[in-house]
Structure 1
Amino acid sequence: MKIKELSLVSNIDLPLELNISFQKVFTLFKKYANKDFEKHPFYASANEMVKIFEKNPELNTGFSDLSLVEKYSEQINLLLDPLFPEPLRLNEIKAATVPFSFTSLKYTDRLNNILENAGEDYEFKVRNFEDDSMYIMACTFILGFVYDFNIDIKRPFYFDIPDKTTGTMKYYRAAFNADFTEIIPTNKAPKLTQEDFKELLNNFDDVEIWKEKFPVNSYIFKGFGLLNLFDVTSEEMLSSIKANLLAGDDNLIFKLQNNLRDFYSIKDLKLGYSIFDNVNDKICETSISKANSIILSKDSEINCGDGYFCNRIIQKVFVNHETFTISDVEDYGVKTDKNPFYQTLHDSGIQSIIIIPIKATKNGDLALLEIASPKAYDLNSVNINKLKDIIPVFEAAVKRTSEERQNVLEATIQENYTSIHSAVKWRFYQAAEKYHVDSQTNDTAKLDEIIFDDVYPLFGQSDIKGSSDARNNAIQEDLTTQLTLAISVLKDACKTEKLPIYNELMFRVSTYLKDVNKGLSAGDEINILDFLKREIYPVFNHIKNINKTLANKVDIYTNRLDADLEVVYEKRKDYEDSVTLINDKLAKFIDKKQKQAQKMFPHYFERYKTDGVEYNMYIGQSITKSKVFNDLYLYNLRLWQLQITCEMENLAFYERKNMKQDLRVASLILVHSNAMAIKFRMDEKQFDVDGAYNIRYEIIKKRIDKSHIKGTEERLTVPGKIAIVYSQEKDALEYIKYIKFLQSKNQLGAIEFLDLEDLQGVSGLKALRVEVIYQKDFDETKTITLNDLIREIES
C-alpha cells in the first residue's frame, strides 16, 4: 500500500506554488562526482546519480505535474536511497514528502507496514489542522525562509493511525526536515516591511490579513522535505488521561478505559474502580457507579474478613498498599481453592488483572484501580511498569476526588445539621480570615462576634392544628387494640385450662382497657406496657406450649406488635407518617421558594420542623455586601411571605388525600416594623435577637399561636385562615393592600379585624384574619411568579 497521495494542485488555497525538485540532492552528488573525490567511496555512485539528473533535467529544475512522480518513480527512488539507509528502514518511520500536501515520494518499510495495517479506509492526514491554520502556517514558513522574520509557532503535527491487528489507536508526532527546500518569491509577492510584520503579529487569527500580505501562489516552494514520525502513544495517553481526569464527567471511566486500551494495545481491556472504606473495614461500591467495579460485580460491598480475598491480596493491597498482579486467573483459582474473588473474575470473563491501591489523604479511604483483560498474561508483572508515569496522575485524581467527596459530605452536614445560611456566610468567612491573620502575631486573638444591625424580622408558621389531641387519640386507639387482643388470648386460655389466674389477669387487663377508654393521663402508657411485660407475657409463653391453637392465638397478638417498640403501633404510625408527609412537603416547598426569593434581595432565612413548619427571616443592609437596601425590598418580601403562606395552605390541603390521618394546618404571620439587631450565639450555634427591647419580639413569637380573640375562648389560629398579627395600624394598611392583590387572584377571601387578649408582658396586639380560597387543582409548580409580586409592589 502507498501513502495516499494528495494532489499538488491542492483543494485548499496556499501562498505557495508547490514544485518538486531534487536540486539540492543533485548539488550534493555533483560534489562527490568531482575528480577531487575520485578515491572517495561515494565517487562512482555519485557519478551514476549525476547521469540520472542529466538524462532527466526536470528532476533538477523541478515540476508541479503530479503525474511525473509516477513517471520518474524509479529514478526518485534511487536518488533518495542515501537518505533512507537500508538497515534503518524497518525501524525508522520516515517519508520524503512535499509539505502542506503530504505527497509521498519515498518511505520506509515500517511506515508502509503501519499504513497497511491501518486499513483501506484510513486517510493519512494531520490531526486537527484546519484550512486557515494550514495557510497561516505556510506564511510563517515563508517569513522565516525569505525575510528572516522567525515566528515561533512550532505547533506539533500529530497523526492518529488505527492498528487493525489490536483494534486500538496509535499516535505519532511528526518532525519535518526542510534542508532540501527553498522558497522563491514571484512577481505577485508584495515586499513586506517591518510594519507589515508587526501587523501580522497582532492579527495572528485573521486569515484575510495574511492572505493580503501573502497572496495565493505568490511564492514557489521548490524541493521536498523529510517527514519523521515518532510513536508517542504513551505520552498521548498520559496527556489524555490527565485531561479526562481533570474534566471528570459522567463518562470518565469509559474514556479512561479507551485511553488504557490504546496504551496497552488491548482492545478488550476493562477498567474498574472501587473504594475501600477505612471506617467500616469494607470494600464499597465506587462512588461513580457500582458497574464500574470489576471486583464488585456481584456484591455492593464485601467485608474483607469473610474470606472473599486471599491473604496475599489482603496483605499486599490493603495492608502494604502495593500493586497486585494476577497474570493467569485460572492458575490463581487453583492456588486459592477457587475463592469468591476468583469466581467473580472467572464469571466476568477476566483472565488477567492488575489491582492498584491508591490511598486518599483526607479520610484514609483506599481506592482500588482495577485494570483487567479477558486473556491470560495480557497484563503481567513486566508490563505493569508501563503504568509508572500514569499512577501518579491517578493518585492525584483520587485524592482530589476524595477531597471533593469529603467537601460534599461536609457541605451536606453543614446544610442539614449545622447550617450557616448562604446570605450571611460571607461575614463568617470575614471573621475567620481576620482571626487567622491576627493569630499569626497574637496568641490571644479572638473570633469577632457576628452581629447584624438594623435588620427587619419576618416570622411565619404553618402549624398542624390539634396535633396533641390527634397524637393522644392515636395512642389511645393502639393501646385499646393491644389490650383487646390480650383479653382475647386469655379468654381462649380459660377454655383450655380452668385456672383462676387467667380470670384474674383478664380482670386487670379489662380495668386498664376501661381506663384507656376514659382517657389517658401522664404515665398511663408506660404503666400498661410494664404490666403486660411483667404479668402477661410470661403467661403467654406458657400458653404457647399448651396446644397449637393457643400458640396461633399468641402469634396473632405478637404479629400486631411493632418489632422494635413491642407495642401496637398502627394508628400512631398513621399519625406520624401523616405529620412527616406534611412537614416534608411544606419544608421542601418553602426551601425551594426561598432560594428564588434570595434573588430579589439577599436575606437571612432559617426554618424549623415542629408539628408543622416555622421560619424566621431577617432583611437589611448589614446582611449583604452586594446590593443597596431599600424599604421596597422589605415590602416585597412581606408580600412574598403572604403569597407563599397561601401556597403552603393549598399544598397542605391538597396532601390530605395522601394522609392516613386527616390533618389540617393553621397559618400565622407576625409583623414587626422596627429594625433590630441579631447576634450569632456561639454556644447555641444559631442567631438570636440582640438587646433587651427586642426580647419582646421573641416572647410574642413563642406565645402568639396559643392566643385567643379578646373576650372569647376562640383561638386566633384556625384551619382555613391566615392570621396576620401586628401592633401598628400602618402595618394593617400595608397588608390590606397585599390581601386585596391576592383577592384579585382569587386566592384569599373575607377579612376579619380582631383584637387579641393580652399575653404575659405583651398587650395591644391586633390581627387580620383572612380566609384561604383553596384551589381546585393546586399545582405547586404553577404559582404567582416573583415578577408578578415585584410589579404589584412597584405599582
Structure 2
Amino acid sequence: MQIRYNNREDKIELPVKLTISFEKVFSMFKKYADTSYVNHPFHKSSIAMVKQLEKFPELINGFSDLSILEKHNEIISLLLNPLFPELLQENEIKAVSIPFTFTTFKLTSRFEKILQNAGNNYDLTVRNFEDNSMYIHACALILEHVYNYPVNLKRPFFFDIPDTTTNTIKNYRVAFNADFMEISPTSKAPKITEDDIKTLLDNFDNIDIWKEKFPPNSYEFKGFGLMSLFDVTTDELISEIRTNLLRRDDNITEILQENFRKFYNIPDLLFGFSVFNIDHNNLSSSRIKKEDSVVLKFEDEISCGGLFCNHIIDKIFLTQDTIAISDVEKYGVVTHQNSFYKKLKAKNIGSIILIPIKASSNEDIAIIEIASPRAFELNSINQNKLQDLTPLFKTAIDRFTEEHQNILEATIQENYTSIHPTVKWRFYEAAEKYHRENFEKKESVKIDDIVFPNVYPLFGQSDIKGSSIARNNAIKEDLTTQLSLAISVLKEACKSEMLPIYKELRFRVEEYLLEVKKGLKAGDEIGILDFLKREIYPAFNHIKEVNSELDTLVKTYMNRLDSHLHVVYEKRRDYENSVTLINNQLAAFIDKKQEDAQKMFPHYFERYKTDGVEYNMYIGQSLTREKKYDELYLYNLRLWQLQLMCEMENVALQATKNMNHKLRVASLILVHSNSLAIKFRMDEKQFDVDGAYNIRYEIIKKRIDKAHIKGTQERLTVPGKIAIVYSQDKDYDEYYKYIKYLQSKNLLGKIEKLEIEDLQGVSGLKALRVEVVYQKEFNTEKTITIDELIQEFN
C-alpha cells in the first residue's frame, strides 16, 4: 500500500484533531462475520478479518501517529480492499485520505500513475483554497454534523496536477465520501449558541472570530475520508475558453491560442480569425473587414474570390459549414495550388479547421482559424470537439461586431458630429429622461430641446487674405501652362505634317490662352477643358503615331497633367497645400490651447476650418453643473482670446516658411456684451443662437470680415493686425486694458480706434485695430499659459 505524505501537513492549523480509525470498516466486517450471515459471500472472509483486526486495537480505537500506517501497511491494505475493486483499478482515480491534509494511502493504480507523472516535489493542493479557508470549511462541517446547523459552504475542490510526460496541467474535480468518519467535541470545545452562529454568519472572512468559537484542535475528527477524482481538463478548458471569449482584452487572440493548444494538445497550434464584409450579389467579391488572422495577416485588401476556391466560398459564406483541411498538400493538388494553398504553405500550415460564424446584427461573416504545422493533426473527426464552442464563438463575434460598430459610431461622433465635453452632461440628461418616460409608457414622449440660456459669446477668426484672388490666379497659371504645352505640340505637328487642321486648332488654343490671360470668367475653365478633351486629344493620338519625337512631346504634355483630374494642377496644388498647412497648424494650436483654457472654467468651444480658422466660444452658468460662474471668468477668457490671437498670428507667419504659395492671415475678434441663449439644432447637429434678437449677433459674424472702415475703401481686416469689433464704450475700456497689458509683453504694437461702415441691418459698430509684434524666436511650446496670464494681469 503506497502512502503519500503532504509536506504541508504539519503547517496546517485546524479546529479538529485528526485521528485515523477503521472502526466503521471493522463494524462492517463484524456484521458479516455473525452467524446470521452464514450464507453471505463475505461471511468467511469477514471472520478472518475480525480475528486479524482484534490483534491491532489501535486500528479500531484510532491513532494520530502516521508511522502506524507503515507499521500495519499490509493489514490496512487488506482491510480496505472491498472499497477498491480490482476491476476498477485502472479506471477510477481514488484514494483514502486524511481529511483536510490530503495525505493519502491506498491509491488506485491510475491515481498512483498520475502522481508519479506529477513529479517527486508535487503535493496535492486545492486550487484557490488558502489555509484560513480550509479552517473555516472545517468549522462549517462541525456546525452541520455536531450542531445540526447546515451551512451552505459546499464548493467544488479542484486539483491542478502537472503531467511531466506531456508538459501539461491536468484538472481534476474532487469528490469526498465522509461515510467513514465522525466529528465530536473535546473538553476544549466552547458551547456554540444561536447568537454565536449569527455572529459567524456575518463574519465569514474574520478568521479570528472563527478561531474564538472553534479553537484549534477542540474537536476530534475520527475515521478516514474516501477521495475520488474526475478528469475535468476538457471541461475546464471549455470554461476558460468561454470566459476568454467574453473578455475585452487586446491580447485575446494570443490567450485563446494558448487555450486551444491545450484543448488539442498541440503545443505549436495557431489560432486566428478574420471578419468578411459580405456582398450577397457577388460572394466572391466580399472583402476582408477586420483581421487577426493566421493566414491573412496584414493583408486588408484581400477579396475572398481571389483567395478561396469555390468549394470554400460555398461552404463558408453560403451555408456556413465548418471545413477541415486535414492535408494541405492534397488540397493544393485538388485546387491546382490556388492562392489559399500558397498562403497556407507560406505559413507552414499542414492542417487547418475553418469555422464560419455569421454575425446577428449585420451580414458580416467571421472565420475562426485553428491550424497545425503537421498534416492530419486537425481533421474532420476532431473538429467535432468544437461543437460545444460554436455558440460561444457566435456570442463573441456578435459582441465584437457590436463593439466594432460602436467604435465606428464613436469615431464618427468624434470626427464629424462631436458633442463638446462641457455640454455632454445635458445631452445625457435629456436622453435619460427620454428613455425613462418611454419605459414608463407616457404619452407623446419627445426628447427635450437642448438650450443654454444666459451665456456670453466670444467669436474669433484668422482668415486667409485674398484667398479668392489667389485661387483664381492659381487656376489661371495652371490653364496657361496647359494651353502653352498644347500649342508647343501643335507647332511641331505643323512642321511634321502640313495639315491645315493643326493650324486651325493652334489658332483656337491661342485664342483661349489670350482669354485666360485677360482674366477668367465663370465657366471658362470647364469650356476650355471640354474643348481640349473633344478636339485636341484626338489630334494628339494621331500625332503620336506619325513621329516618335512628337510622341515624346505628347507624353511630356500628358505627364504634366494630374493623374486623377487630367488637368495641369501644379499652382493649385501649391495653393491648396499652403491652405491646408496653415489651417492644420492654426487648428492644432488652438485645440491644444483650448485644453488649457477649459481648466479655468468649463465653456463651450467649436472650431471650423474654412480659408483659415474661425471659432465660437460660449461661457455661462447654464453650461456647467460643476462650478459656480462669475463674470471674472468671462474677462479672463477674453484676455486669453486676445493673447491667443497674437500667438496664432505668429503660428501663421511661421507656417509661410514651408509654403510654396505664401499666404497671410487677418485676425478678427467680435465682442458681444449681452448674454444670449444657444440651442442645439437637431436637423443641423450643431448649436446656434436662439431668439430673434440674438440673430443680429449671427448677422454681424457673417458680414464683419468684409466690412470697410467708415468713409474709406480700406478693409477692416488686414494682415499683421488684429481687429476687435465692439458696440459699447465699456467694451472699448475693457479691451484697451488688455491691449496695454499685452503691449507690455511686447506682443502688440500701435493701436487704432476706428468706426465701421454700416452693414445691411447693422449700424453703430466700432473697432480697435492693433498691430501684432511678431516674435523672432516664436515657439508654440513656450507660449504664456492661462495661469500665468491670470496671475500677472490680476
TM-score by length of 2: 0.89
Once the two structures are TM-superposed, the CA of residue 548 in structure 1 deviates from its matched residue by 1.5
Question: 1:200-215 alignment to 2 at 5 Å?
Answer: 200-215=200-215
Q: In the superposition, relative to structure 1, how do residues 443 and 34 fare at CA in structure 2: closer, same or farther (>3 Å)?
A: closer
Matched with 1:234 is 234
Mapped to 2, the partners of 1:13 and 1:584 lie a distance apart of 70
Counterpart-to-counterpart distance in 1, 2:356 and 2:336 = 24
Work out the CA distance in 2 between the residues paired with 1:133 and 1:767.
79
* 1:284 Cα deviation after fit: 4.2
Q: 1:637 to 1:156 in 2, by over 3 A?
A: farther
Tell me whether 690-699 or 255-264 shows the greater mean CA deviation: 255-264
Q: Counterparts of 1:213 and 1:368 in 2: how far apart (Å)? A: 59
CA shift for structure 1 position 549: 1.6
* Match of residue 268 from structure 2: 268
* Shift, 1:522, TM fit: 3.7
Deviates more, 1:292-301 or 1:781-790: 781-790
User: Quick one: distance in 2 between partners of 1:717 and 1:590?
Assistant: 20
Secondary structure, aligned partner of 2:545: coil
Structure 2 Cα separation of the partners of residues 71 and 643 of structure 1: 95
> Is the Cα contact below 8 Å between 1:755 and 1:767 reproduced in 2?
yes
Cα deviation digits, residues 4-37 of structure 1 (max 9, x gap): 6314653343333433333333333333334443
Displacement of 1:486 in angstroms is 2.7
Q: Which residue of 2 aligns with 1:348?
A: 347
Q: Secondary structure of the residue that 2:379 maps to in structure 1?
A: coil
How far residue 575 of structure 1 moved from its aligned partner, in angstroms, is 1.4
* Structure 2 CA distance for aligned equivalents of residues 784 and 152 of structure 1: 67
Q: 1:128 to 1:453 in 2, by over 3 A?
A: same
Structure 2: distance between partners of 1:173 and 1:389: 20
Distance 1:790 1:177 in 2: 78
1:285/1:293 contact within 8 Å kept: no
Given that residues 166 and 266 in structure 1 are in contact (C-alpha distance below 8 angstroms), is that contact kept between their aligned partners in structure 2? no
What residue in structure 1 maps to residue 399 of structure 2? 400
Structure 2 regions of 5+ residues with no counterpart?
none
CA shift, 1:561, in A, is 0.7
State how 1:459-608 maps to structure 2 within 5 Å: 459-498=459-498, 502=502, 505-506=505-506, 508-510=508-510, 512-591=512-591, 594=594, 602-608=602-608
Check if 1:326 corresponds to 2:325. Answer: yes
Q: Is the 8 A contact 1:653 1:664 kept in 2?
A: yes
Distance 1:26 1:706, change over 3 A: same
- Give the Cα separation in 2 of the matches to 1:98 and 1:438: 62
Asked whether 1:13 is paired with 2:13, we answer yes
Compared CA separation, residues 134 and 433, structure 1 to 2 (3 A):
closer
Q: Which residue pairs with 1:390 in the alignment?
A: 389
Distance 1:157 1:304 in 2: 48
Distance 1:506 1:684 in 2: 51
* SS in structure 2 at match of 1:455: strand
TM-score (norm: length of structure 1):
0.89
Is the contact made by 2:20 and 2:223 (CA closer than 8 Å) also made in structure 1? yes
- Alignment-derived partner of residue 674 in structure 2: 674
Q: Distance in 2 between matches of 1:327 and 1:215?
A: 63
Q: 2:74 & 2:790 partners in 1: Cα distance?
A: 85
Mapped pair 1:33 → 2:33: yes
Q: Which amino acid in 2 is paired with 1:367?
A: A
Q: Which moved more, 1:158-167 or 1:663-672?
A: 158-167
- Residues 766/380 of structure 1: CA separation in 2 closer, same or farther (3 Å cut): same
In the TM superposition, what is the alpha-carbon distance from 1:682 to its structure 2 partner? 4.7
Any residues of structure 2 matched to 1:678-689 within 5 Å, and which?
Answer: 678-689=678-689
- Measured at CA, do residues 528 and 339 of structure 1 come closer, stay the same or move farther in structure 2, by a change above 3 Å? closer
Alpha-carbon offset, residue 42 of structure 1: 2.0
Q: CA RMSD in A?
A: 3.5
Residues in 1 aligned to 2:501 and 2:384: alpha-carbon distance in whole angstroms:
82
For 1:616 and 1:719, how far apart are their aligned partners in 2?
Answer: 21
Structure 2: how far apart are the matches of 1:151 and 1:397?
Answer: 38
The 1:415/1:8 distance shift into structure 2, 3 A limit, reads closer
CA distance in 2, matches of 1:2, 1:580: 83
- Cα deviation, residue 154, structure 1: 1.8
Q: How far apart, CA to CA, are the structure 1 residues paired with 2:18 and 2:790? A: 69
3-state SS of paired residue (2:228): strand
Which residue does the alignment assign to 1:374? 373
Are residue 84 (structure 1) and residue 84 (structure 2) matched? yes
Residue aligning to 2:115 = 115
- Structure 1 residues 434 and 133: alpha-carbon distance in aligned structure 2, compared to 1, 3 A threshold: closer
Residues 496-554 of structure 1: per-residue CA shift (max 9 Å, x gap): 34556555655554554455445444444334434433443333223212222221121
Distance, in Å, in 2 between the alignment partners of 1:439 and 1:179 is 56
2:718 partner SS:
coil
Deviates more, 1:498-507 or 1:550-559: 498-507
Give the Cα separation in 2 of the matches to 1:582 and 1:510.
37
Superposition deviation, residue 272 in structure 1: 1.9
Q: Distance in 1 between matches of 2:241 and 2:679?
A: 50
> Alpha-carbon deviation of 1:610?
0.8
* Superposition deviation, residue 125 in structure 1: 1.9
**Structure 2 CA distance, aligned partners of 1:721 and 1:176?**
89
Query: Residues 81, 592 of structure 1: CA spacing in aligned structure 2 closer, same or farther, 3 A cutoff?
Result: farther
Aligned to 2:60: 60
Asked if the contact 2:17/2:220 (under 8 Å) is kept, the reply is: yes
| 1:697 matched to 2:675 | no
Match of 1:131 in 2: 131
1:767 partner amino acid: A
Work out the CA distance in 1 between the residues paired with 2:356 and 2:272. 12
CA contact (8 A) 1:21 1:63 kept: yes
Percent identity between the two aligned chains: 65
Offset from partner CA, 1:397-439 (integer Å, 9 cap, x none): 2112112212222233344344454555565566667777579
2:18 & 2:737 partners in 1: Cα distance?
A: 83
**Is the CA contact (8 Å cut-off) linking 1:3 and 1:115 kept in structure 2?**
no
How far apart in 1 are the matches of 2:723 and 2:397? 55
The offset of 1:325, in angstroms, is 2.8
CA contact (8 A) 1:578 1:659 kept: yes
Q: Tell me by how many angstroms 1:636 deviates.
A: 4.8
Q: CA deviation at 1:469?
A: 2.7
What residue is the counterpart of 2:24 in the other structure?
24
Seen in structure 2, the aligned counterparts of structure 1 residues 738 and 231 have a Cα distance that, compared at 3 Å, is: farther
Please give the alpha-carbon distance, in whole angstroms, between the structure 1 residues aligned to 2:27 and 2:605. Answer: 86
State whether structure 2 residue 308 is matched by structure 1 residue 309.
yes
How many angstroms apart in 1 are the aligned matches of 2:748 and 2:50? 105
The superposition leaves residues 242-300 of structure 1 with CA deviations (integer Å, 9 ceiling, x where unpaired) of 3222322111111122222323333333222111212485454463xx4x323425843
Tell me the residue number matched to 1:718: 718
* Contact 1:286/1:293 (<8 A) preserved: no
Partner Cα separation in structure 1 for residue 97 and residue 708 of structure 2: 98
Amino acid at match of 2:128: N
SS of 1:197's partner is helix
CA distance in structure 2 between the partners assigned to 1:200 and 1:79 by the alignment = 40
Deviations 1:569-604 (A, max 9, x none): 112112112222332333344445546655655544
Match of 2:263, SS state, is helix
Q: Distance in 1 between matches of 2:318 and 2:95?
A: 53
Alpha-carbon distance in 1 for matches of 2:136, 2:740: 69
- Matches for 1:135-214 after TM superposition, within 5 Å: 135-214=135-214
Q: Using the TM superposition, give the Cα deviation of residue 450 of structure 1 relative to its aligned residue in structure 2, in angstroms.
A: 4.5
Cα deviation for residue 701 of structure 1 reads: 0.1
Deviates more, 1:7-16 or 1:201-210: 7-16
Partner AA of 1:409 in structure 2: L
Q: What code does the residue aligned with 1:348 have? A: K
Give the CA deviation at 1:484: 3.1
Q: Which runs of 5+ in 1 are unaligned?
A: none
- Aligned partner letter, 2:356: P
Measure how far apart 1:441 and its partner are.
Answer: 7.3
Contact kept, 8 Å, 2:350 with 2:373, in 1: the verdict is yes
